[in-house]
Amino acid sequence: MDELNKPLEKLDPDFIRKNVKAVTFDVDGVIMPTGTFLRESFDGTKLTIKTHKLSKKMIEMIKELKKYVWINFSSGRALLYLEYMLEDILWDKVSLIGENGNFILIDGKVQQLSLCNQSYLQKLTNIRNDIKKLKKEKPDKIYGFEPKHIIITVHTANKMPEIEKIVKKHDKENELYCLWTSEGYDIGNIKTNKQTALCFLSNRLKIKPEEMITTGNNLNDKEMLNFGIGISVDPEQVSGKYAIQKKKGMLGGEILAKYLLMAFAR
């Protein structure tokens, strides 16, 4: 078995320059600080979301990286919100993956990558409605829902076994995951993950997995880090072939971008 979480410095700059054709950056916790403020009214008529945007330094590094490789961003967020967050570095040589691999926006077109029928959507609706009832009982514990198409993301103050029980109650077929993300829960089809979209992207770009670097920091990035050259920026949470240890005042994605630019500029 190959060694995991090797220091980034073990990734040969000459190999990068000769072989890497695409880089996938996870968003929250990799190129932006984690932490999203979300509050939704009981009737769902008012939603407030506050999050981070790219630093000026990261914007400039990504613009420079686009001279050498295709840049892809992967997130659990909806595509529309990703466009807002990343507007400063779109669109040339850039693609966006949203909702944990369910959608990809590339070359001006949105592709839905998962099979989604009426019974699946009804199941999500039933789960959402039960969580709404729980929210009325525990308004200080459940903050609200992010707008999504075919997954549920509910923000909570901490882990809530009640939500996991609601999912199990409605998911007799065991087709859903219910994943704690440190800010709440992602609930969606277990057959679709971030790697699903990476397979689509590599086929579209006509590149091999080993020609793409991927990044991640959380459990929902596990499959993505197993695709191509995986680099974890939080090896205590999830492993990759390589790892970047946490450094105060600097994001793992910034460290990686700087290292890649050094390799390509040789």
- The C-alpha torsion from 110 through 21 and 99 to 5, rounded to 10°, is 170
What pLDDT does 79 receive? 94
Nearby residues of 191 by Cβ (< 8 Å), 6 or more positions away: 114, 175
What pLDDT does 15 receive? 95
What pLDDT does 174 receive? 94
Dihedral of CA 120/121/123/124: which sign? positive
| pLDDT digits (tens), the chain, 266 positions | 468 999 999 999 999 999 999 999 999 889 998 888 999 988 888 999 988 889 999 999 999 999 999 999 999 999 999 999 999 999 999 999 999 999 999 999 999 998 889 999 999 999 999 999 999 999 999 999 999 999 999 999 999 999 999 999 999 999 999 999 889 999 999 998 899 999 999 999 999 999 999 999 988 888 899 999 999 999 888 899 999 988 888 899 999 999 999 999 87
Token pair for 90: 């779109």
Q: Do domains 6-39+51-114+193-264 and 118-189 have the same CATH topology?
A: no
What pLDDT does 116 receive? 85
What pLDDT does 204 receive? 95
Query: How many beta carbons lie within 10 A of that of residue 106, not counting itself?
Result: 19
Q: What is the DSSP letter of 79?
A: H
This prediction has a pTM of 0.91
Question: What are all long-range contacts of 171-176, with beta carbons under 8 Å and residues at least 24 apart?
Answer: 171/123, 171/127, 175/120, 176/123
Where do the domains of the chain lie?
A: 6-39+51-114+193-264, 118-189
State whether residue 178 is helix, strand or coil: strand
Q: Which CATH superfamily is domain 6-39+51-114+193-264 in?
A: HAD superfamily/HAD-like (3.40.50.1000)
What pLDDT does 266 receive? 74
- Give the β-pairing of 152-156 and 229-232: unpaired
**Residue 30 · residue 253 · CB < 8 Å:** yes
Q: What gap in Å lies between CA 241 and CA 213, rounded to an integer?
A: 10
| CA nearest to 226, candidates 236, 238, 158, 237 | 238
Task: Name the CATH topology of 118-189.
Answer: Alpha-Beta Plaits (3.30.70)
**Residue 66 · residue 22 · CB < 8 Å:** no
- Got the DSSP string for 2-67? ---SEEGGGS-HHHHHHH--EEEEESBTTTB----EEEE-TTSS-EEEE-----HHHHHHHHHHTT
